[in-house]
Amino acid sequence: MTKLVFHVDDSQIPSTDTKGTTHVYLYGKRPVRLGTGSIGGSLEVAVARLAIAVDIKAFDFLSIALAVIAADTFVSRETFSANGWTREFTLEIPLARPAVWQDVASDLEHALNFLSGDQWTLSFRNGGIDPPSKKEIARLRKHVAIGSADCTSLFSGGLDSLIGARRLADEGRIPLLVSHSYRGDQSYQDYLAPRLGKALPRFAANANPVFGGENMNDTTMRTRSLGFLAYGVVSASAVLAKKPSVGVVDLFVPENGFIALNAPLTRRRVGSHSTRTTHPSFLSQIQAILDKVGLPVRLQNRYRHMTKGEMLCEILPNDDVAHAAVNTVSCGKWKRKSKQCGHCIPCLIRRAAFAKAGIVDSTSYQFPDLGKLWDRPDMRDDVMAMLVATGRDERGLRQRAVASGPLPLDPVERENWFGVHKRGLEEVAAYLKTQGFRT
C-alpha cells in the first residue's frame, strides 16, 4: 500500500519522511524538499486566464485529477506492485468542498480501478483552495477570449481531435479547445489550430508532476486522461458561467471507436497493452459522477461508432484538412525520439486510415517499411498481434471486444461497438495486405 498526502500549504509538509507515505505539494511549482513531489504549479494561472470564476466543484475535480496523476507518476509499477502491474494507492486530498466529493468517493475509486488497473482509496479533507477569484483574474494581462464559445472539445494535436474540432467549426459551433500543453504536443496543437476554418479560443495547461530526489517515475501514465477530462470540465464550467442560459455544456471527446474500445488483440494484452482512456464504460462512469455532484457537463464522443479511416473519409474532400492531417501525431512512442515510430498500434491504425481515405501519408516515420521489421523481434510484436487479431472468427471478435470492459446494455449501442471493432480490424488488415502481409 502506497499512501500519498497532498498539501496546498507547503509549510504543512513534514520536514522528515514517514515510511510508506509521500507528501506532495498540490498546485506547487516545485517539491519542498527531497523525497516529496509537486504538481499543478501553473494551473491556477491557467484557470485564471479563462477570465471568469469557475464552479468550485469543477476546480475540486481538477484537484482530484492532479492528485491521481501525481500518484500514477511517482509510484513505479515495477517497484511497487505485487504482481508487476497492480499497485495499491491511498490518497488524502484537500478540497474546497470535500463533503460533496466524499459522497462519490467509491464511484471515483471504481472508475480509477478500471482506468489504470490499480486499487485506489480516496479520502478528502477540508483545506483545499478555491478557484481563482475575480481579483486574481484581474491581475493577469492576458486572458482566453471564451465569450463566443458554446461548447468545449479536447484538442490533443492528434488526427481525431483535428477532425472533431474542424467538424464543429464547419457546423457553426465555437468550441473552446482544451489541451495538455506538454512539450512536443504543444507544437502540434499550435500548428493545427489555425487550420480549423476559424479562430477558436484555446485553454492549455500542463500538470508538470515533479519529484524531488531519486525516483523511478512510471511511464504508462494511464490516468493522464483524467487530467485531460478535468481541464475540459473546468473549461466547460467557464463557458457555462459566461452563458448560463446554455444549461448544460457539451464536452466533446473526439476519439474513433476502434481506439476507444481498444479491445485486446491477444490474450496476453488484456492488461498492460490495453488503455481505457475513452472506453465507453469509463466515460459513462465519469458522466455519472459529474451528474451526482451537480456539474452540468455532457461528455460526448460523436465518433464512437466510426473507425479512424471512416472519420477521415467523412471530412473529405477538404485539401486543407488532408494536408493538416499528415501533420498530426498518433504514435504512442514518439516522444522517445521525437519521431513517430510507424509500427506501434496507434501508428498502424493511423497508416491504415490514410490508406482508406486515399491520402498519401507523408509522415516521416522512424520505420516506414514494415516489411523490414519482420527480422526485428523487438519491434514486430504489434504487427504480429494485429495479424493474429484480424484472423479471428465473429465469435472470437466479440469475445475480445467484451474483454476490453463492460459495454453498454442498449442492444443497438452494443452492436455498434461490436461493429466498429470488426471494421477497425478490417481496416488495418487491408492496409497490412498492401504492405505484403498475409491476413
Where do the domains of the chain lie?
Answer: 2-43+53-141+208-213, 151-200+248-434
Amino acid at 356: K
Residues 177-191: tens digit of each pLDDT: 999 887 667 888 999
- Distance separating alpha carbons of residues 20 and 3, to the nearest angstrom: 6
- Distance separating alpha carbons of residues 393 and 345, to the nearest angstrom: 21
Residues sharing a CB contact under 8 Å with residue 79, sequence separation 6 or more, in sequence order? 216
| pLDDT classification of 359: cutoffs 50, 70, 90 | very high
Q: What pLDDT does 212 receive?
A: 93
Amino acid at 303: Y
| pLDDT classification of 274: cutoffs 50, 70, 90 | low
Across the chain, what does the average pLDDT equal? Answer: 91
Side by side, which strands form the sheet with 119-125? 119-125, 88-94, 2-7, 21-28, 37-40, 210-211
The pLDDT of residue 271 is above 70: no
- Distance separating alpha carbons of residues 296 and 165, to the nearest angstrom: 21
C-alpha cell at 414: 452494443
Q: Does the global pTM surpass 0.85? A: yes
Q: What pLDDT does 268 receive?
A: 64
DSSP labels for 326-389?
TTS---SSHHHHTS--SSSHHHHHHHHHHHHHT-------SS--GGGGTT-TTT-HHHHHHHHH
The pLDDT of residue 222 is above 80: no
Q: What pLDDT does 181 receive?
A: 81
The pLDDT of residue 106 is above 50: yes
The pLDDT of residue 203 is above 80: yes
Which one has a higher pLDDT value, 151 or 275? 151
- Phi first, then psi, for residue 170 (nearest 5°) are -65, -25
